[in-house]
């Protein structure tokens, strides 16, 4: 599991996926928040604003982040105002 910071709802963050510089959300600024009920009902494992996800690197924390400005993903889908993002991709701003 990667080392990453623990975030709380209301924390301001910058998205910075160093492994994939072209990641669609890189450079986005947002606020850690609670996921919508629809997301919670579709994806098991949410505990407040965090979900532990099994990845190729092991179990990692992911957070729900409300982005300040909507973004299109790599396929041109969106724009997305909110997203589930790995803690390893988030840098604290506050």
Q: Where are the domains of the chain?
A: 12-92
Average pLDDT, the chain: 92
List strand residue ranges (DSSP E) for the chain, in order.
12-15, 29-32, 46-47, 50-55, 58-71, 80-86, 90-92
**What is the per-residue pLDDT for 2?**
45
Count of positions (residues) in the chain = 94
Q: Quick: pLDDT tens for 40-74.
A: 999 888 999 999 999 998 999 999 999 999 999 98
Whether the Cβ atoms of residue 46 and residue 9 lie closer than 8 Å to each other: no
Band (33; pLDDT cuts 50, 70, 90) = very high
**What is the per-residue pLDDT for 3?**
52
Whether the Cβ atoms of residue 43 and residue 33 lie closer than 8 Å to each other: no
Phi first, then psi, for residue 50 (nearest 5°) are: -125, 145
Average pLDDT over residues 67-90: 95
């Amino acid at each position: 599991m990667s080392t990453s910071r623990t975030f709380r709802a209301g924390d301001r963050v910058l998205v910075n996926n160093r492994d994939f510089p072209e990641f669609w959300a890189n450079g986005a600024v947002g606020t850690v928040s609670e996921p919508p009920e629809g997301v919670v009902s579709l994806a098991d494992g949410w505990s407040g604003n965090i979900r532990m996800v099994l990845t190729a690197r092991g179990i990692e924390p992911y957070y729900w982040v409300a982005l300040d400005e909507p973004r299109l993903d790599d396929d041109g889908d969106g724009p997305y105002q909110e997203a589930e993002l790995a803690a390893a991709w988030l840098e604290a701003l506050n």
